[in-house]
Structure 1
Amino acid sequence: MAITVNVVSADEQIWSGEAEMLVARTTEGEIGILTGHTPLLAILAGGEVRVTQVGGRKLVVNAEDGFISVQNDTVTVVARAAELVS
């Protein structure tokens, strides 16, 4: 099973796809999201959002000033500014 991840900035979609896991830093601390995670809305604390894609490939996005939403195995990261690093 996989989660659907959408990473968007104020003016464009940065990345969208299926993933095994997403790790992001929130104002409450670092959080890992896997399939079946409970619904969540959290404020991003700027920095790296790390995505492990299905198959193990790693993806890193720098995201600033935004939030992360988790609902029904869909994770949405909305940031004022976001940039794909790798």
Structure 2
Amino acid sequence: MSELNVSIVTPDGPVFEGTATMVIARTKAGELGILPNHVPLVAPLKIDIVRIKQESGEEWVAVNGGFMEVNGEEVNILADTAEREQDIDLDRAERAKARAEENLQAAKDQKVDELMAQIALQKAINRIHTKEH
């Protein structure tokens, strides 16, 4: 069976390097499933989970924005931040979610920084969903 070489990299360094039979990611245009020999593309990513299907199972990575480049047998993701499921501290993510919800409510009340609070909340929820899948 043909496989894809997959790389997820952040400004802090590589998060995932390996092979996959399929990569599923949510782009600004919708969810994409990438199989070997996929047509080349570049797509902006949403804050969401990237699922890496392998012969041995499935790996989930919380990705907080960035871009995905597909070129035949390669999928390269350049993410703002990313965390593998096993690296996520669920208690810390729950605390971040609670802080983000408080900040979002305060921002709505004060009519400032609401967008930043919404993004922080999306990131926290994404990490929780990745860990709890």
Output the TM-score relative to the length of structure 2: 0.62
- Aligned runs of 1:22-61 on 2, under 5 Å? 22-53=23-54, 55-61=55-61
Name the structure, 1 or 2, with higher relative contact order (CA <8 Å, separation 6+). Answer: 1
Residue 21 (structure 2) aligns with: 20
**Cα distance in 2, alignment partners of residues 78 and 20 from structure 1:** 20
**Cα distance in 2, alignment partners of residues 71 and 83 from structure 1:** 23
Shift of 1:12: 1.3
* Greater percentage in helix: 2
Residue 77 (structure 1) aligns with: 77
Shift of 1:10: 1.4
Shift of 1:56: 3.8
Tell me the SS of whatever aligns to 1:39. Answer: strand
Paired residue type of 1:43: P
Tell me the SS of whatever aligns to 1:60. Answer: strand
CA shift digits 1:36-58 (9 cap, x unpaired): 100010000111000001x1410
**Cα distance in 1, alignment partners of residues 47 and 73 from structure 2:** 23
Q: Which has the larger radius of gyration?
A: 2
Segments of structure 1 that go 5 or more residues without pairing to the other structure are none
**Cα distance in 2, alignment partners of residues 43 and 25 from structure 1:** 9
Residue 114 (structure 2) aligns with: none
The number of equivalent residue pairs is 85
| RMSD (Å), alpha carbons | 0.9
